Amino acid sequence: MNTNMLREKMLMNKPLNRLIGDMPKVGIRPVIDGRLAGVRESLEKTTMAMAKSVVRLIESSLHHSNGLPVECIIADTCIGGVAEASLTAEKFRKEGVGVSLTVTPCWCYGFETMDMEATTPKGIWGFNGTQRPGAVYLAAVSAGHTQKGLPAFTIYGRNVQDIGDTHIPADVRVKILRFVKAGLTVATMRGKSYLSIGGVSMGIGGSIVDQDFFEDFLGMRVESVDMTELVRRIEERIYDEEEFKRAYAWVRANCAEGKDYNKKSHSRKRRDWEWDFAVKSMMIVRDLMVGNSRLTKLGFGEEALGHNAIVSGFQGQRQWTDHYPNGDFLEAMLNSSFDWNGIRQPYIVATENDSLNGMCMLFGHLLTDSAQIFADVRTYWSPEAVERATGRNLSGTAAGGLLHLVNSGAAALDGCGRQMKDGKPAMKPFWEITPAEARACLKATTWPPAIYEYFRGGGFSSAYGTRANMPATMFRLNMVKGLGPALQIAEGQFVDLPPEIYTVLEERTNPTWPTHWFVPNLTGQGPFRDVYSVMNAWGANHGTISFDHIGSELITLASMLRIPVYMHNVASDRIFRPSAWTTFGTADPESADFRACVNFGSLYRKV
C-alpha cells in the first residue's frame, strides 16, 4: 500500500463493548397509589405513559462511551407496594440494570415502593401537578431514602403541569439526563480494572495506586504488571505481526517525525528501531488492557485474555525511560480517537502511572464520551511576566494571566482543536468525528525525538498546540490522609495566543510536548479570585482536561461516589446532588458535601 493510500484510509469503527460484562441498563420504576377500587385504576395509564416518556428521552439523548445505545428497562407493572417493588428488583437484577429512576404523578406508599438496592444510583421524578400529589410522594420517599442511608436524587419541575401531560419540561430533562449519565458512569466502572503497568514514577503521589480507594469508592479492582512484560512480549513476538506491519506503515505515513532539539542526535537506524519499539509497545499495552483474540490463534492463549482494564497507567520514568524508548507515543495514541484501525473509542492511559489522574480521565471520558487531555499544571504566567518575556501584552480572555498546561505523554491528539461542532472547535465522541477531522489532528501533530536529558532511552513525544478557543474543564482527584479522595474542579477556556507570544513562551519550556493555554473562569472569591490563586490552590502536579464545561456533571458523579468536592467554580443553580445533602447544612454547601460524604461512607465499603 503506497503512502498516499495510507494517509487517506481512515475507517469508522462500529460501536463495540471491548470489556467483559454487559453494558449497564437504566431501570424505570413507575410507582403508583396502590389502592384499588378506583384510585389505582384511574392512574395506571398516566403513570406508565410518564415512564415511557422518560424512556424516549433517555434512549434518544444518550449513548455509552463506546457508542452503543443506552437501553432502558421498564417494570412489568406499576409499583404499588412491596410485592411489585420486589418483582421489579428481581427483573432489574436479571436485566443488568445499573441505574434506577422512579417516576410518579401521584401519591404512593413511601418506603414500601422505594428502590432498596444499596449500590445502584437512584433518582426520583415526582410530577409537579395539582390533581394528584406527586410532590408529596417525592418528599416522603426522599425522607425514607435519607433515613435509611440510601441517598436519592430528587427531580421536581419548576412549573405546574396538567395530569396526563407527557411533555418533560426543560429543567426536568436536564436533571434526568445528568443523573442518568453520571449513574451509568458509576455502573460502567463497577467490576472493571485499573491496570498498573509498573510502579511509582519519580515519587509522584498519584502513582501510589491505592487499592482500597479503587475497591471501596469505585467498585473496581487493581491489576499490576511489571513493565518488563512489554520487553518479553516484544522479544518473544507475543503480538499480532500482521497487524504490526500494517500499523508500522500507517504510523510512518501519518505521524511525521518532528524537529530534533537534542544537541547530539540518535542515528537514523536507532530512531527507526525506536519507532518499531513504540508501535509494538502501543499494541501490547492495548492487548494487556482488553485482550486480543488474535493472540489465541497465534498460540498465546493466556496473553489473549487481557486484564479487563477500563483504564491503565504506565510508569515509564525513570527506570524504563533511562534504558528504553519512552511511553509518550503509546499513551498519546491510545488516548486518541483514531489509529491504523480507524476512528474508535479512546483507550484511557495515564502518564507516569498517576492513577488518580487516570481516574479523572476515565470520569471525563464516561461523562462526555470524548477523549481526554493529561497535563502538568506547569506554570502561571502573569500579564507582567508575559510582557517581560515577549514584549507583548495579553488581551481578551487571557488579559488577567493564564496557566500553561504541558506534559509529554497522555494528551489525546483530539485536543489540537481541529474537530468542529456547530461551527466551533471541539473534542467529540468518536462516532461524530469525520475522517477529515482525524487526518487534520494527525497533520497538526509532529513527533520530535524525545529530549534525551529526560528520556535517555529515546522515543518520540507528541508536539501540538491547542490552537483554538474552546470551553474546557480542568479537574483532579487528590488523596488526603484520614479523609480519602477529594475532587477539585476549574471550568474555563483554552485560548489561542498570538504566535509572537505562543512561540516564545513554549520555547522556554519544552516545544516537543503538547501545549494548552488555560484560563479558569473567575468568581472573585476564594481560589477563583484570580488566575494565580487557582494555580496556587491546585492539589497536585497533574490535571485532567475535558472539553466543555462539565463541572456540574462531575459534582453529580462525585456525590454518587461519596467523594467530596473542595474547590470548584460551578454556579449553585447547576449543582445537582442527592436531596439528603441539604440535611447537612444549606448555608455552606461545600462543607455540607464533606459531612454528607463522610456520613454515608464509600459506596462499596467492605467494613
Q: What is the pLDDT of residues 394-407, one digit of tens each?
A: 999 999 999 999 98
Whether the Cβ atoms of residue 125 and residue 57 lie closer than 8 Å to each other: no
SS3 394: coil
Q: What is the pLDDT of residues 433-459, one digit of tens each?
A: 999 999 999 999 999 999 999 899 999
Distance separating alpha carbons of residues 167 and 475, to the nearest angstrom:
35
From CA 330, how far away is CA 409, in angstroms rounded?
A: 8
Whether 115 and 160 map to the same domain: the answer is yes
> Domain check: are 330 and 281 in the same one?
yes
pLDDT tens digits along 406-433: 987 789 999 999 999 999 999 999 999 9
Q: Rounded to whole angstroms, how far apart are CA atoms 101 and 32?
A: 14
Which run of H or E residues covers position 547? strand 542-547
Q: How many domains, in total, are found in the chain?
A: 2
Compute φ and ψ for 252, nearest 5 degrees: -70, -25
CA-to-CA dists, residue 347 to 286, 336, 410, angstroms: 8, 7, 10
DSSP string computed for 405-447: EE-SS-B-GGGGS-EEETTEEE--BGGG--HHHHHHHHHT-EE
Q: How buried is residue 539: exposed, middle or buried, by Cβ count under 10 Å (0-12/13-18/19+)?
A: buried
Residue 536's identity, in one-letter code, is N
pLDDT per position as a tens digit, 24-49? 999 999 999 999 999 999 999 999 99
Amino acid 165 reads D
Give domain status of residue 4, yes or no.
no
State pLDDT tens for residues 220-242.
999 999 999 999 999 999 999 99
Shared domain for 100 and 231, answered yes or no, is: no
Confidence at 7, pLDDT banded by 50, 70, 90? low
382 in a structural domain: yes
Would you say 502 and 508 are in contact if contact means Cβ atoms under 8 Å apart?
A: no
CATH code, 175: 3.40.50.1070
Average pLDDT, the chain: 95
- Please work out, in degrees rounded to the nearest 5, the angle formed at the alpha carbon of residue 258 by the alpha carbons of 284 and 392: 125
Please check whether residue 497 lies inside any domain of the structure: yes
Q: Which one of 161, 189, 217 terminates a domain? A: 189
With respect to residue 1, please indicate whether it lies within any of the assigned structural domains.
Answer: no
More confident residue, 131 or 112: 112
CA angle 357, 454, 271 (to 5 degrees): 105
Q: What phi, psi does 340 have (nearest 5°)?
A: -65, -20
Of 138, 155, 189, which marks where a domain is finished? Answer: 189
Q: Is 353 helix (H, G, I), strand (E, B) or coil?
A: coil
118 inside domain: yes
All residues at 6 or more sequence positions from 480 whose CB lies less than 8 Å from its CB, including other chains:
486
The pLDDT assigned to 213 comes to: 97
Report the percentage of the chain scoring pLDDT > 70: 99
Task: Encode pLDDT of 45-92 as tens digits.
Answer: 999 999 999 999 999 999 999 999 999 999 999 999 999 999 999 999
Nearest to 218 by CA among 243, 244, 185: 185
Positions marked catalytic: 352, 376
Q: Are 196 and 354 in contact (CB under 8 A)?
A: no
Same domain, 333 and 204: yes
| Rounded Cα distance, 330 and 148, in Å | 47
Return the C-alpha cell found at 327: 511511553
Domain that holds residue 201: 193-600
Instruction: Find the DSSP H helices in 298-341.
Output: 328-335
Please tell me the number of Cα atoms within 13 Å of 51 on its side-chain side: 26
Examine the domain organization and report whether 392 and 491 are in the same domain: yes
What does the pLDDT read at residue 1?
46
- Which cell numbers in the block locate residue 507? 520555547
Please check whether residue 62 lies inside any domain of the structure: yes
In angstroms and rounded to an integer, the radius of gyration of the C-alpha atoms of the chain is: 25
- Is-contact 432 421, C-beta < 8 A? yes
What's the rounded Cα separation, in Å, for the pair 317 and 326? 8
Percentage of the chain modeled with pLDDT above 90: 91
Arithmetic mean of pLDDT, 299-317: 97
Asked if 116 and 253 sit in the same domain, the reply is: no
Residues 480 and 510 both lie in one domain? yes
Does 114 lie in the same domain as 71? yes
Question: Residues with Cβ < 8 Å from 69, sequence gap 6 or more?
Answer: 59, 63
Task: Please tell me the predicted confidence (pLDDT) of residue 607.
Answer: 59
Q: What is the CATH number of the domain that holds 318?
A: 3.20.14.10
Contacts of 365 (CB under 8 A, 6+ apart): 65, 346, 348, 371, 372
Residue 12 lies in a domain: no
Residues 169 and 313 in one domain: no
Question: Taking the CB of residue 480, how many other CB atoms lie within 10 A of it?
Answer: 11
In this structure, what DSSP letter does residue 200 have?
Answer: -
Give yes or no: residues 133 and 146 share one domain: yes
Distance (Å, whole) CA 521 – CA 409: 27
Domain stops at, among 148, 172, 189: 189
CB atoms within 10 A of CB 569: 20
Q: Which helix (H) or strand (E) holds 364?
A: helix 355-368
The whole-number pLDDT of residue 208 equals: 95
Residue 322: alpha-carbon gap to chain centroid? 31
Which residues, 6 or more positions from 356, have their beta carbon under 8 angstroms from its beta carbon?
205, 206, 476, 477, 478, 479, 485, 540, 542
| Angle between helix 268-290 and 328-335 (nearest 10) | 50
- Do 171 and 210 share a domain, yes or no? no
| Band (129; pLDDT cuts 50, 70, 90) | confident
Return the exposure string of 338-368: e unless at least 16 CB atoms fall within 10 Å of the residue's CB, then b.
bbbebbbbbbbbbbbbbbbbbbbbbbbbbbb
Number of H helices, E strands in the chain: 19, 22
Q: 166 and 294: one domain?
A: no
> What is the Cα–Cα distance from 448 to 460, expressed in whole angstroms?
6
Structural domain contains residue 396: yes
